[in-house]
Structure 1
Amino acid sequence: MITRAPHCITLRMRTCVGGLPWRCDKRTLPQHFVQQGTRRMSTSASLTDQLAAQLQGPQLQQLAGRLGIAPEQAQSAVQTALPLLMGALGRNSQQAGGTDALLGALQRDHAASPDIGSLFGALLGGSAGGAQANGAGIVNHLFGDKAPQAAAGLGQATGLEPSKAGQLLQLLAPIVMAYLAKRFLGGGAATSTQLGPALAQEHQQVRSSSGAGSLLTSALDQDGDGQLGLGDVMKLGGSLFGKR
């Protein structure tokens, strides 16, 4: 049973982190989840939730120090930024050739990434190198010239300054790619038929979220008309992991 806390509302269960379920905090996005003391395991955690479960403890404390914010705000920001990144990957992967392009990028640049905790620590400490550290490049390929808008939206949702929100997206982007590489290249036989449906489902889950879904749609609205139309998709599909 989940108890209500001041200023918080419980919308629905999604996953557990370290065996601790999450509740929704209306002070941030409606799909932001805060740890509670009631233990209950979830059997249908999304890719985003599973990755979030690995970004805890010392690395989260280090991230808070890097951004100059409280650990609680850092956790909130991570829980908001991950769906934005994963949803953008899922949307792009549904375009012609998008999944194959993503799979190629995972195999080329992220197959040899260390475990998530080590990579996160290396990125925060500045010791990561090569494509693994090219968070800015990944974010730019995902959002194109709307990358500043994505950072601004993330900042507004989490209380971060836009510059810090952009920095967070760039730190997390290689983490997301490394996670997908380990998840789908672990056996060395991953195909677009495995990766594509998983990301499509992830995108749908993000779009169904009133908070993260609105932020994603706004960030991917390349025409500035408030809607994600065919023109937006064509522009994004041509830039994903390709030469701009």
Structure 2
Amino acid sequence: MNITDLISGNIGSQAVDSIAEKMGVEKSQAQYVMAAAVPLMMSALNYNANKSPEQANGIQQAIANKHDGSIFDNLSSLFAQGPTDDEDKIVNHMFGRNTDNVKENLSAKTGLDVKKIAGILALVAPLVMGYLGKKKQENAGTESSGGIGDLIGSVLGGGSNAGGGLGGMLGSILGGGATNTASGGASGGLGDLVGDFFNQDKDKNAKGGILDALAGMFAK
């Protein structure tokens, strides 16, 4: 399973259908949020992992203890219970001070109220974490195994932009406009696009255009 499977492949399609039904929203709305949220979440996690050893260790422990990838063996259980407070906390840990920014902009673009957006994000977040847990297990004992920053960096750097992948997404710019070069180079392509969304100087119209671009890359 690669990251585009999570967004628009078989897994993503199952998730979108279940989210739409559980949250009482249109499938197109759930699909839009999913397609925009996954790259935003991955980018935020990448930034957090490279921000400090403590942040990286926190993500590492969360994946090791709670998100081993087994969620994909029984997706129905996640959607049957609906969003929980614990899952909402994952979203807050991911986005930090940008949490309300993400919710409000997705709300403006989809027409869904912020509470609906919060619920959808809470269901998407454990899928993103579970994906990383699954990749970590797959990489265990191989040359590509390493710290959590290396793992997320490999996910973001892989794939092809033309094919809807996350190639070129090497980091993010969160709030202060500082480029994250921990993956070995300046962020570019999709990385710049996501970074611009988190840039506090961008207005809502610009952020909305970025969400449209992200959703357009992955929504089918």
Quick check: 154-163 or 169-178, which moved more?
154-163
Q: How does 1:224-235 map to 2 (within 5 A)?
A: none
Aligned equivalent of 1:63, options 13, 19, 22: 19
Aligned equivalent of 1:158, options 110, 122, 144: 110
Count residues in correspondence: 169
Aligned equivalent of 1:114, options 67, 70, 79: 70
Q: 1:62 to 1:200 in 2, by over 3 A?
A: closer
Asked if residue 72 in structure 1 is aligned to residue 28 in structure 2, the reply is yes
Contact 2:19/2:79 (8 A) holds in 1? yes
1:184 & 1:174 partners in 2: Cα distance?
15
Higher relative contact order (CA 8 A, sep 6+): 2
Shift, 1:79, TM fit: 0.5
Taking structure 1 as the reference length, the TM-score comes to 0.58
Taking structure 2 as the reference length, the TM-score comes to 0.64
1:183 & 1:166 partners in 2: Cα distance?
26
Any unmatched runs of 5+ in structure 2?
158-168, 172-186, 204-220
2:95 & 2:16 partners in 1: Cα distance?
25
Aligned to 1:51: 6
Residue 51 of structure 2 aligns to a residue whose secondary structure is coil
Q: Which has the larger radius of gyration?
A: 1
Aligned to 1:105: 62
Q: How does 1:1-244 map to 2 (within 5 A)?
A: 48-52=3-7, 53-97=9-53, 98-111=55-68, 113-116=69-72, 118-119=74-75, 121-126=76-81, 134-189=86-141, 190-192=145-147, 194-198=150-154, 201=157, 202=169, 203=171, 204=187, 206-209=190-193, 212-215=194-197, 217-218=198-199, 221=200
2:116 & 2:82 partners in 1: Cα distance?
20
Cα RMSD of the aligned pairs, angstroms, is: 3.0
The percentage of aligned residue pairs carrying the same residue is 24
1:17-43: CA deviations, max 9, x gaps? xxxxxxxxxxxxxxxxxxxxxxxxxxx
Shift, 1:161, TM fit: 1.8
Query: If each structure's helix is expressed as a fraction of its own residues, which one has the higher value?
Result: 2
Query: If each structure's strand is expressed as a fraction of its own residues, which one has the higher value?
Result: 1
